[in-house]
Amino acid sequence: MKVGIVGSGNVGAGAANAMVLRGVAREIVLVDINVKRAQAEAEDILHAVPFSPHAVAVHAGEYSDLDDCSVVVITAGVAQRPGETRLELLGRNAAIFKSMVPQIVASAPDAVLLVATNPVDIMTHLTAHYAVPLGVPRQRIIGSGTTLDTARFRAILGRYLDVDPEHVHAYVLGEHGDSEVLAWSLATVGTVPLEDYVRARGIDLSAEARHVVDDGVRHAAYRIIDGKGSTYYGIGAALARVTQAVLRDQRALLTVSAPVAEMGDVHDITFAMPSLIGGDGLIAMLPAPLDNQEEAELVASARMLRQALDDLAAAGGI
């Protein structure tokens, strides 16, 4: 069970550390253009191995060292420059992926590619654009999607309800970003629909209360980045969880970024829906019986992503 992580910044290192502590892999190789950073992160994470459920080999390497990886996590990319538009940022990251993805595929042709670079839905779509012509099956290319947003929803809602978040089943769908959709209509506590649970327990779940939870989920990254510069613990744990589902062929239900042929009047996008994930990546995308408002919001999220892809293509970035 070998995992490669391309990009050894805070997110990549956070994912590697979470994998070690969860005992997800037997070998982890960190690849980064900044070799010194990759080596330092690998050495630091190695020192956590005695606290892992089993021994893990952690080391830095090059693209060629990704051979035999079952999963390659991609966190590499560039940050937005002052005054740079989102489209310009997309163009720069697209250029990086155009060069990077073929190198990954050449060394790890049988790996599931798990993309975390933001904007993750678009970067996952681009990864498929570059990898599928090289022979990588589309189901083996997924993104972290809204796995982190879903965890935030469950954590914040669990705290509000005073329930262990493990027993709160709630999903965030669509874009990993401002247009994401909190699927309140699907939320349950154990087997009990959320509306029934709060009614039985006498808990206020008015529109105002929901707005507080929604804001906590939707704007979490802004607050965290404002306070400490970036987010990495939550996404690191999410990447470890998706990787575990692949390595152990768990058939786990996760809200990863995956191809969507049609959503309303929108065609050929990549975003998050409840999906079964196993050893070959995406097994199946499951339907989500949303209410009318949530369905409309999901279509709007799809339109936004389709427009960004069209703009990128028009600018010559694809």
Residues of the chain scoring pLDDT < 50: none
Is 172 in the same domain as 300?
Answer: yes
Is 106 in the same domain as 165?
Answer: no
What pTM value is reported for the model? 0.96
59 part of the active site? no
Question: What span, in angstroms and rounded, lies between the C-alpha atoms of 278 and 246?
Answer: 5
Is 162 in the same domain as 295?
Answer: yes
Question: What span, in angstroms and rounded, lies between the C-alpha atoms of 298 and 183?
Answer: 10
What is the CATH number for 76?
3.40.50.720
Determine the pLDDT at residue 316.
Answer: 81
Residue of 54, 59, 176, 219 marked active site: 176
What is the CATH number for 208?
3.90.110.10
Is 24 in the same domain as 71?
Answer: yes
Is 16 in the same domain as 50?
Answer: yes
Is 138 in the same domain as 158?
Answer: no
What is the span of the domain harbouring residue 126? Answer: 2-143
Is 209 in the same domain as 182?
Answer: yes
Is 210 in the same domain as 310?
Answer: yes
Is 211 in the same domain as 253?
Answer: yes
Of the three residues 143, 162, 195, the one that is the final residue of a domain is 143
Determine the pLDDT at residue 78.
Answer: 85
Determine the pLDDT at residue 88.
Answer: 82
Determine the pLDDT at residue 151.
Answer: 98
Quote the number of domains for the chain.
2
Of the three residues 114, 143, 172, the one that is the final residue of a domain is 143
